[in-house]
């Protein structure tokens, strides 16, 4: 029986081929949500919890919206270069994040930040201006932004875990998955020479200061 199974597996790998196997291993598994009365966010018990959840969702939606505009700006400059496919791949994941938060905001009846028109322009300008510095500039921007977003997601994860991890299980799953994607984008930027752009640390710190201001404002406006 063992020998027959081994032979069948060997024949299957020859038919399918190693390339397709690697592609299957990279496939993303959709989030498995429970059969609770809500999909991701529980109905707030009181005004305090409602305010907390609305702030979390509002700023996360704004962050993903801004990230989309940054990648759009980078693609406008570098879309036809050899770096274009790499930026597009990261942008496609950000599009998935934004679509999910659009869905959650609608389900939970949470208004987005009033600053979206500003982030629309600011994000695109940041992405395009960093890309004008070349691939290294675009990757430096990616490192700075994705590091800020992943750190912010980590702070939310800690806060929700301290309050009631069972109550916020689905929301934590979403945030953790998106946090992992942001870390992957950050690491991709480092792997593609982000630190070689002139004035890297100055550029990174300036962008992250702007990210902190954006997070603060989007939570409240």
The 10s digit of each residue's pLDDT in 182-197 is 999 999 999 999 999 9
Ligand-binding annotation for 6, yes or no, is: no
Alpha carbon of 53 to those of 83, 110, 189, 220: distances in Å? Answer: 37, 9, 31, 12
Q: What is the CATH number of domain 47-219?
A: 1.20.1260
Ligand-binding annotation for 2, yes or no, is: no
Picking from 51, 73, 60, 90, the residue whose alpha carbon sits closest to that of residue 182 is: 90
Give pLDDT tens digits for 28-40: 444 443 334 347 8
Ligand-binding annotation for 147, yes or no, is: no
Ligand-binding annotation for 89, yes or no, is: no
Ligand-binding annotation for 192, yes or no, is: no
The model's pTM is 0.81
Per-residue confidence (pLDDT) for residue 36, from 0 to 100 = 43
Ligand-binding annotation for 146, yes or no, is: yes
């Amino acid at each position: 029986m063992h020998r027959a199974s081994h032979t069948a597996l060997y024949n299957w790998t020859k038919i399918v081929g190693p390339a397709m196997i690697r592609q299957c291993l990279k496939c993303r598994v959709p989030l498995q949500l429970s059969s609770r009365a809500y999909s991701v966010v529980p109905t707030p018990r009181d005004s305090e919890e409602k305010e907390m959840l609305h702030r979390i969702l509002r700023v996360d939606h704004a962050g993903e919206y801004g990230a989309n505009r940054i990648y759009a700006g980078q693609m406008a400059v570098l879309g036809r270069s050899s770096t274009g496919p790499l930026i597009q791949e990261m942008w496609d994941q950000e599009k998935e994040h934004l679509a999910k938060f659009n869905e959650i905001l609608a389900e939970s009846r949470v208004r987005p930040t009033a600053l979206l028109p500003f982030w629309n322009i600011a994000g695109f300008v940041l992405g395009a201006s960093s890309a004008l510095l070349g691939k290294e500039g675009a990757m430096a921007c990616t490192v700075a932004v994705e590091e800020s977003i992943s750190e912010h997601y980590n702070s939310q994860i800690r806060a929700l875990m301290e309050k009631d991890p069972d109550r916020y299980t689905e929301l934590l799953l979403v945030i953790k998955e998106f946090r992992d994607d942001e870390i992957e984008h950050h690491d991709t930027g480092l792997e593609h020479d982000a630190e070689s752009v002139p004035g890297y640390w100055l550029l990174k710190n300036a962008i992250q200061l702007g990210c902190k201001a954006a997070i603060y404002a989007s939570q409240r406006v």
